Structure 1
């Protein structure tokens, strides 16, 4: 150190070292979950953060020695940088990806509908047993204290001229910076991009784009094996005789209802969810995989029979017309479509999407309540479900009286965070509260069926009950949804049911949300249409299948299920793991996949990603 500058240098080292703490906290948070913590791995995770700290130190020491009062803007800059790194840390903990502009833009556009998530963001544990809010407070005090010391040291240093740095010292400093920079450029990516620092990432990526440290070999991907095909192609497969003569269709898209909490292992479905148990016993039940674990993505797959866009952009709700089964039913079966929602219809252009698939009118709970009434237990995501189902009956009776069949779409919100439902037992955890909300949904659907029966709406009506996505409660270190490819987030119950009708049992108990639209079309005899689907009709034999899915955040992870194996590919570390779902239904025993199996499976998943992105680049009429 330069003589005369020692106090300043020591104070500044303490101050800039705070920039390393968000990554240290993140490593500790991930350590018991998904990342290695040997010295080499920790060095890789911290490499870009050390580069940032070194650059900030160099900038600060230069300004503090030459510009009077520069410690105030420099300290403000470092404080803002520390806060940004802390927010990035929390985003990574919840969504397993670094903060980026797409996520910021998404959050700003839907800020009003996302406010219920603030409780999770701020008050769930974020590292070392502390909440994020507490960590920010403590680091604010640390920032304030260290930069006050820097200010005092800078004032003292100006009164004691330093000895100029020797040539050897300058070379050593340059060597350290160059080593950190080259190390960051040439180092492999870590799992969940844990090595990335959002402040230095642009510099590192710019150097990589010049050819440094990047594998420029191109992959020859095979065509995706499940392209969209005309619905009429299902006629090439044999179909058992099914002629129930349905006149009406009801979808109940159950918000955040997952398979593991309803029909999964060790669940007493009959006791906790008697309505679900009865409908499953009397109808068709399957475990359905989502395409992307996010609400609007689930709606798209459910109602169009196509895979959703594998990324944060809501491309599914951008067009005025989406060809599909609802349009065909309206035209060929003299039916009218209407939706009833506890969720806010403005969220992610839900109202616009419903219009595009053929739903001419959508009612929120508030629209069905008397003028002087208010929905109970409202949150920023929507209203409660108590006034969703039964008040909808007069609207459907009016459609019948007009001589038409009805298509009713219901979007209850009960199992969405913050899980504010009474339930039948005292909850001891967030998962208990969540499952109490599923109990409430089950009871309300039971009341709805009774109301339908009394109103004469139950006969000749096909019901489809399906979850839009699952929910994580820390099973693999994650919470809520969007980022996991594990069963708790990507599997939901799917039930087809009709009063007094014996529905055919599918040959497989596993399906995908994309199968719903072609199956509904098959039930109603709509089999000669040209609109495109990627699923199959569950009424027809289909043999061994593969199920593809991706995370809501682009190129975070994707998965492929070929029973009994499930493969999860993580993009940033370029790793593939396999689970045997028969032997390991909770996915606790990952097997690392290498060699030819790795290459072949990875390329299948990359083909899926590439196909879907090219698919959504086209207008729906041209797909």
Structure 2
């Protein structure tokens, strides 16, 4: 084996003037120039941090940042120089030179492209991002990259590549052996020095030191940091997150005019900091701002994951999604849970989901159908005179969007088909999703073209909200309609070094506007209660007087003993997971183990990372996050296996809730309730419409539903509820007068039982009618209650001893 000094002399010999072989010097000069170009690129990537540093720290940052870059360049250069020097076979030498040039070009272009990735994502492109933005169902990240990779960017890359190889050709004619060896030695020394700094604290995100090739290769076959999160959460878990309890907010009194409709209006890609009433500095949401005079607005509301498909899971299944880089919408399309739309539908609401964009995007259509919506619509289902924004490229598949104003027109048309029937409709705007469609006659708000497009898109989305609210007022529906306004997630515009939404969980990514609007219930209140999107469903059922399914993880905002904290995560940038409790914000990177701790009361922009100065508070926050993760994992495991019900927090067993209506002839229908043979009490449905003089419609019966709460002293394992109809009255054949009792649902201990769980006690006294159980004769029906695991275990033990 040749000694290093001998090899250097031998290589230098090939560089002497007049030497015939120029392939080796070309490779060496290419390596030197490539290293210098990557040094400039790395200086740009670290520019902000270096600008705030002294000379010594700046040199240290550069050495650390160049460690992987220059190690790759040195290995590539010296290996191919040695191979070329060792062989005299001309075809093989040409092949080696071609392969070297191709690899050098790849290193150069990935280095340049990494500047775009760092600007957008705050990190190099990895397999996790590639999976998130797959080409068959492409997402916002790669779409944004295609836009920022303009012809100017391509021209710059081409010019640098020509400069690299052209410069190497020119310098090869000059040779310069001593200079080559000196620069290569400097690069090797820098690699050694930088390696010694790898474990030191720098105050700079580790992602800014990573070479993009190393980052991508390292991500292959890796879980993106999930194992680090899982390890953090491996500890005994309580049934609820370990947050302090929130000061409860007062639940509004039941309105004089019962609520009978619900609208969810979701502003796509809209963080709180873009809405005027939450601190936005551009006048693009005047209609939402005006509507807040009849609202309860939440100052501290959060998306659990900054991605649209995760939002759908949270709002319709009332849960924080599973900690995974694959949405539960995709990984568990048949998730066995109770969805908000099916609850509303079972309680007599007609249901619909409208989307300005394409419901095929990220399989939105699959989830909303599973969730139980009766009608589903997107831009393909209507004509839009103000424009449909279309793409023809296969890589932009499913990004087409119609004007949000057209979508609202369709929603109004759907309501008008049966205006007296209670409805539940969910609408997600589309124009504010990247690439941001500014609509007709865009205004000039800011200099940045992309950001200005976004602000105009938000302006149109807000106009559609105003149009919908004006319709409710015009038709007299405002008082009896609960309007829920929420951002599906945030959107970044350069804060913390990222753009779009999925790259982080800073405030711009996850802090969202959220308000409950109804002129009977609210009059402009605001609250600092910390809430998440998973709480939307339980809040709706609470205000509408509907039993909340026990499967739901979220809690009504009016619930007592609710936690004053919320968890959120983003699994594509090293698997970020964090929480907010009171004013404390904590972020943990499961891949790099980086930690961020902020006091949002004094640092709302998250600029002062306290993890660097307060190790005691940081350690406590890290332990708390582990407990939060463990509690959530426990819930998800239980939900997926349906085997942990006994150990979860017990639901209230002191009340039986009955939702009933009917028809009244001489007197309103009356019922009586028993549990396990013991009398509970009775109820009278005074809201049931009279049919003494005329036949009543199903819509009138539906409008007569009322909720009755009967106190009960349940035993340890209650098993059976019996309901009896007491006062059947009939006017006779051919006459309309008839007293019947309709029961839509019976709720007890967190579980709601519908008509399909009723068993008649007397034959021909009642049966299924629409979505209710109808008693048309005096008689009864029974419900066998679901037993929790402790009762089933007790039964099993008793059977085993017999």
1:275 match: 287
CA RMSD of aligned residues (A): 4.2
2:593 match: 574
Native 8 Å contact 1:320 1:355 kept in 2: no
Give the direction of change, closer, same or farther, for the CA distance of 1:521–1:224 in structure 2 (3 Å limit).
Answer: farther
Native 8 Å contact 1:365 1:375 kept in 2: no
Native 8 Å contact 1:366 1:374 kept in 2: no
Give the direction of change, closer, same or farther, for the CA distance of 1:47–1:4 in structure 2 (3 Å limit).
Answer: same
Count of residues in correspondence between the two structures: 581
Q: Compare 513-522 and 18-27 and name the one that shifted more.
A: 18-27
Structure 1 position 561 matched with structure 2 position 576: no
Correspondence 1:316-395 to 2 at 5 A: 316-317=329-330, 318-321=332-335, 322-331=337-346, 333-369=347-383, 375-378=387-390, 381=399, 382-395=401-414
Q: Compare 550-559 and 16-25 and name the one that shifted more.
A: 16-25
Report the Cα distance in structure 1 between the residues aligned to 2:281 and 2:112, rounded to whole angstroms. Answer: 42
Report the Cα distance in structure 2 between the residues aligned to 1:597 and 1:434, rounded to whole angstroms. Answer: 38
Structure 1 position 25 matched with structure 2 position 21: no
Give the direction of change, closer, same or farther, for the CA distance of 1:219–1:562 in structure 2 (3 Å limit).
Answer: closer
Point out the structure with max Rg over C-alpha.
2
2:125 match: 99
Report the Cα distance in structure 1 between the residues aligned to 2:232 and 2:490, rounded to whole angstroms. Answer: 33
Which residue of the other structure, out of 160, 165, 171, is the alignment partner of 1:139? 160
2:254 match: 242
Give the direction of change, closer, same or farther, for the CA distance of 1:602–1:149 in structure 2 (3 Å limit).
Answer: farther
Give the direction of change, closer, same or farther, for the CA distance of 1:385–1:266 in structure 2 (3 Å limit).
Answer: closer
Which residue of the other structure, out of 269, 291, 296, is the alignment partner of 1:284? 296
SS of the equivalent of 1:532 reads: coil
Correspondence 1:14-413 to 2 at 5 A: 14-17=29-32, 18=34, 21-22=37-38, 24-32=40-48, 38-65=58-85, 66=87, 67-69=92-94, 70-110=96-136, 114=140, 116-118=143-145, 120-123=147-150, 132-146=153-167, 148=169, 183=195, 187=199, 191-200=205-214, 221-223=234-236, 227=240, 241-243=253-255, 245-263=258-276, 267=280, 272-287=284-299, 288-317=301-330, 318-321=332-335, 322-331=337-346, 333-369=347-383, 375-378=387-390, 381=399, 382-400=401-419, 404-413=421-430
Give the direction of change, closer, same or farther, for the CA distance of 1:203–1:568 in structure 2 (3 Å limit).
Answer: closer
Report the Cα distance in structure 1 between the residues aligned to 2:126 and 2:146, rounded to whole angstroms. Answer: 21
Native 8 Å contact 2:567 2:577 kept in 1: yes
Native 8 Å contact 1:97 1:556 kept in 2: no
Give the direction of change, closer, same or farther, for the CA distance of 1:123–1:583 in structure 2 (3 Å limit).
Answer: farther
Cα drift, residue 71 of structure 1: 0.8
Which residue of the other structure, out of 439, 460, 463, is the alignment partner of 2:483? 463
Native 8 Å contact 1:565 1:578 kept in 2: yes
Report the Cα distance in structure 1 between the residues aligned to 2:371 and 2:349, rounded to whole angstroms. Answer: 14
Give the direction of change, closer, same or farther, for the CA distance of 1:226–1:566 in structure 2 (3 Å limit).
Answer: farther
Cα drift, residue 439 of structure 1: 2.3
Any stretches of 5+ residues in structure 1 without a counterpart? 125-130, 163-168, 209-214
Native 8 Å contact 2:65 2:194 kept in 1: no
Cα drift, residue 573 of structure 1: 5.1
Give the direction of change, closer, same or farther, for the CA distance of 1:485–1:570 in structure 2 (3 Å limit).
Answer: same
Any stretches of 5+ residues in structure 2 without a counterpart? 1-7, 16-21, 223-227, 645-802
Give the direction of change, closer, same or farther, for the CA distance of 1:205–1:575 in structure 2 (3 Å limit).
Answer: closer
Report the Cα distance in structure 1 between the residues aligned to 2:164 and 2:631, rounded to whole angstroms. Answer: 48
Cα drift, residue 368 of structure 1: 2.1
SS of the equivalent of 1:547 reads: strand
* TM-score when normalising by structure 2: 0.64
1:127 match: none
SS of the equivalent of 1:250 reads: strand
Q: Could you say which structure has the greater relative contact order, defined with CA pairs below 8 angstroms and 6 or more residues apart?
A: 1
Cα drift, residue 347 of structure 1: 1.2
Q: Compare 41-50 and 506-515 and name the one that shifted more.
A: 506-515
Cα drift, residue 31 of structure 1: 2.9
Cα drift, residue 618 of structure 1: 7.5
Cα drift, residue 448 of structure 1: 1.8
Native 8 Å contact 2:534 2:555 kept in 1: yes
Q: Compare 103-112 and 441-450 and name the one that shifted more.
A: 103-112
SS of the equivalent of 1:285 reads: strand
Cα drift, residue 198 of structure 1: 4.5
Native 8 Å contact 1:308 1:316 kept in 2: no
1:488 match: 508
Cα deviation, 1:216-237, whole Å, max 9, x if unaligned, reads xx768444667599xxxx9x99
1:212 match: none
Give the direction of change, closer, same or farther, for the CA distance of 1:611–1:123 in structure 2 (3 Å limit).
Answer: farther
1:497 match: 517
* TM-score when normalising by structure 1: 0.80
1:166 match: none
